[in-house]
Amino acid sequence: MINIQIDEKMLNTASTLLKIAPSEVKRASATAINRTITSLRKDASVEARKRYIVKAKQIKDAGMKPQRATVSKLRGVFRVSGGPLPLTAFKMSLRKQGPMRVKVLKSSGAKPVRGLFVRAFPKGYHGPMRRLGQHSYPLKTPGGPSVPQMIGHESVLERLLPKAEEKLTERLKHEIEFRLGRIKSVSYTHLTLP
């Protein structure tokens, strides 16, 4: 469970708006939550790629499904799902002698993976395979870490959570000030009309 805090100054501004127009605070909160969830998709991809050698498309194409907040339900969920990525998503090197080498983490070198070989199939797959037993078949396509594992890694979350908290605070402040300004301008307009 991820908890994001909002500063006291923001709460005071929100309570002022709440006294004037209670429904506007809920709308501002829902909008801020939804904007934060949208930005998390990009930030999660950036932070995961600081640790892992993987393309942004591979991460974004994984099951990142936001559950948007509504005025009646002020809760948003950023859910990431998916199985292991194929080794072709990472950096691989073939050698004339010795096992194939795969590099998954940016901080470490390529590791030898025994038993891997490259095979092209008529259905279009061209990449590393591994035999499951002593016989030629069945073959298995080996995989690396999944996108949920990459994003859920401790070092990635340590950088991602402060960004999410900062974004939520920034968006909530903007939404509340925008609505408060609009309410004030409407009330001033009504006061000056004959």
Residue 65 pLDDT class (50, 70, 90 cuts): confident
Mean pLDDT, all residues of the chain:
79
- Judge whether residue 117 has pLDDT over 60: yes
| pLDDT, mean of residues 71-88 | 86
Lowest-confidence region among 25-39, 55-69, 71-85: 55-69
Distance CA 77, CA 159 (A): 18
Residue owning tokens 């999660």: 44
Percent of the chain with pLDDT strictly greater than 70: 82
What is the 3-state secondary structure of the chain? CCCCCCCHHHHHHHHHHHHHCHHHHHHHHHHHHHHHHHHHHHHHHHHHHHHECCCHHHHHCCEEEEECCCCCCCCCEEEEECCEEEHHHCEEECCCCCCEEEECECCCCCEEECCEEEEECCCCCEEEEEECCCCCCCEECCEEEEHHHHHHCHHHHHHHHHHHHHHHHHHHHHHHHHHHHHHHHHHHHHHHCC
Over the stretch 134-170, which tens digit does the pLDDT of each residue have? 887 887 778 888 999 999 899 999 999 999 999 998 9
pLDDT score for 192: 41
pLDDT score for 17: 57
| pLDDT, mean of residues 57-77 | 84
pLDDT score for 28: 87
pLDDT score for 184: 62
Lowest-confidence region among 78-82, 131-135, 167-171: 131-135
**The token pair that represents 34 in the structure block:** 């939804």
- Judge whether residue 79 has pLDDT over 70: yes
Cβ atoms of residues 40 and 78 within 8 Å: yes
* pTM (2 d.p.): 0.71
- Judge whether residue 35 has pLDDT over 90: yes
